Structure 1
Amino acid sequence: MADIEEARKTFEQFDADGDGFITAAEWKSAMARMGDFYQTEAVAEAVIGTKDTDADKRLSFDEFWASLNK
């Protein structure tokens, strides 16, 4: 099981606008900051889609946390 405080810190790094959700654009940008310059928006959408349980095309912290604990 992941540490929830570390997960929150990571989530906040991805959630650039601080609205409580990670979009594909934010995911792509965060991955680029971590050195993955080849991640496309389509790939980011697919990654989010695998974790997005309510199909709103955004990742909430609860969805992010759940995906870490699978």
Structure 2
Amino acid sequence: MADIEAARKEFQRIDADGDGFITAAEFKSALAQGGDWNVTDTVAEAIIKTRDLNGDKVLSFDEFWTYLSR
């Protein structure tokens, strides 16, 4: 997904509370909505951790985009 506008829309979809950050809970919920019901809280937290560049345990759009555009 190299299109930044598509990435912004996807980020906003996942960021359920609209605070500008994706939490592990929001990520897990988005995956469940997509049909992946097997993701646990622990797995969602681990996925966020691998993409979280500043260690604050949430994803900003910049971190989300950095991961997508690698």
Displacement of 1:69:
1.2
Q: Which amino acid aligns with 1:51?
A: R
1:15 — aligned with what? 15
Using the size of structure 1 for normalisation, the TM-score is 0.96
Q: Counterpart of 1:31?
A: 31
Q: Normalising to structure 2: TM-score of the pair?
A: 0.96
Q: What percent identity do the matched residue pairs reach?
A: 64
Secondary structure of 1:65's counterpart equals: helix
Residue 48 of structure 1 corresponds to which residue in structure 2? 48
Structure 2: gaps spanning 5 or more residues: none
User: Counting strand residues as a fraction of each chain, which structure ranks higher?
Assistant: 1
1:2-24: CA deviation from partner (whole Å, max 9, x where unpaired): 10000001101110000000000
Q: Give 4+ residue runs of structure 1 displaced > 2 Å after superposition.
A: none
Q: Does 1:3 align with 2:3?
A: yes
Deviations 1:4-45 (A, max 9, x none): 000001101110000000000000000000000110111111
Corresponding residue for residue 66 of structure 1: 66
Q: Residue 53 of structure 1 aligns to which amino acid in structure 2?
A: L
SS in 2 for 1:26: helix
